[in-house]
Amino acid sequence: MKMDYPLQGIKVLALEQYIAGPDCTMWLADNGAEVIKIERPKVGEPRRNYLPVVEDEAGNKAFGGFKLYNRNKKSVTLDLQKEEGREIYRELIRHADVVVENLGPKTIKKLGLEYETLEKINPRLIYAAISGFGRLDEYKGVYSDRPAFDPVIQAMAGILDHIGEEDGPPLWGLPGMADLFTSVVTGYAILLALFMREKTGKGQFIDSSMYDSLASLNAMGIMIYSFAGLVVRRGTAGKFQYPMGTFQVGDGCYVALLVANEFIWERFCRAIGREDLIKDSRTENGLVRVQNREFLDPIVHEWMQARTNDQVVHELINEGVPVGPVQSTEDLVNCPHLKARKMLMEIDDPIAGKRVFAKTPFRMTGVKEPPAKTAPDLGEHTESVLTGWLGYDRETISRLRQDGIV
């Protein structure tokens, strides 16, 4: 059997909003799944009007905040507040392989569309629920009913406690990290469930918690606390090895490096022309280098300041020291390596024109390049899906539109 994409033939219903759900299903769509995004009639999901915005001569608007996480999907409008809308959704469930849902903690139960109901309609259904703090009753915790956004989760999972100056406040680092990492974890779980279904014939419920995901991302901090009793936080990262972190160079730019062990330390010393420091009692291992930073810092600083960004990177790389420049988003968009890796995808949108997006970050030798279809207009595929999946005729769909069901 010839397959262009690994998820070819897999049908996904997406009851999603904001980032975590949409990013997860976008990865599935990039790899061949047919993703049907269920949205409220006339309104759509909240990110449909997220900036930045591009407007064409006719006044039509394309919102980058929505385009970012919704390429290669289909949009169906359906009013789940009405019983007829819920009945259509249940009909779609009969044909679906996967549901990805990240609505509020109590919304799905109020609608009567929870997994326990849907699995009776389709026992092969895989239902992935993304929430801030988890859904399953047997794992219910004190935060389970709370709503959550990305900075809340980053803060509670200890991520923000790592970012900033030692005597300064915690800082919000990468916006959306909790959503994005959870979306990948959820996608991984969906693939595991699909693999299990091939063997058992049964679907299952996936309980994906943003808090759990970022706690696992903080695994090193948890281990260090357990082994050493040390709370790794702002200003404490360099307790075991040095040099590490970011360093300003002569042209005002910054580079990042980590001398992770004594093999790298020898290479670093050769690169800066100070082989005498390899066995110096003040610098011979990571712990003493940390203790003698007042001695070592001026040496490193002087060498860095005498060189440009490119020179520092070139000279350290030549000796096998891992180092890289601190790059901006503009640097990424123009990066020749990313272009060679085909990591940047150009999508031609009818309103915004050609725009650049980051692509799914892996390559498979037996898989075609991901499609480059722009995010769908609200309800763009309602008729084709209701016709193709459920066999509805135009008269029925017209009546549903008049009644505000679709």
pLDDT attached to residue 105? 76
Domain boundaries defined on the chain? 11-217+376-402, 237-330
310-348 pLDDT tens trace = 999 999 999 999 999 999 999 999 999 999 999 999 999
pLDDT attached to residue 166? 85
pLDDT attached to residue 51? 96
The verdict on whether 179 is a catalytic residue reads: yes
pLDDT attached to residue 320? 97
pTM: 0.94
Percentage of the chain lying above the pLDDT 70 cut = 100
Spell out the SS3 assignment of the chain: CCCCCCCCCCEEEEECCCCHHHHHHHHHHHCCCEEEEEECCCCCCHHHHCCCEEECCCCCEEEHHHHCCCCCCEEEECCCCCHHHHHHHHHHHCCCCEEEECCCCCHHHHHCCCHHHHHHHCCCCEEEEEECCCCCHHHCCCCCCCCCCHHHHHHHCCCHHHCCCCCCCCCCCCCCHHHHHHHHHHHHHHHHHHHHHHHHCCCCEEEEEHHHHHHHHCHHHHHHHHHHCCCCCCCCHHHCCCCEEEEECCCCCEEEEECCCHHHHHHHHHHCCCHHHCCCCCCCCHHHHHHCHHHHHHHHHHHHHCCCHHHHHHHHHHCCCCEEECCCHHHHHCCHHHHHCCCEEEEEECCCEEEEEECCCCCCCCCCCCCCCCCCCCCCCHHHHHHHHHCCCHHHHHHHHHCCCC
Single out the catalytic residue among 97, 161, 179, 207: 179
- What number is the average pLDDT over the span 254-274? 97
CATH topology of domain 237-330: formyl-coa transferase, domain 3 (3.30.1540)
Comparing 165 with 187, the larger pLDDT belongs to 187
pLDDT attached to residue 234? 87
pLDDT attached to residue 238? 67
CATH number corresponding to 11-217+376-402: 3.40.50.10540
178-233 pLDDT tens trace = 999 999 999 999 999 999 999 999 999 999 999 999 999 999 999 989 998 988 88
Comparing 164 with 143, the larger pLDDT belongs to 143
66-93 pLDDT tens trace = 999 999 999 999 999 999 999 999 999 9
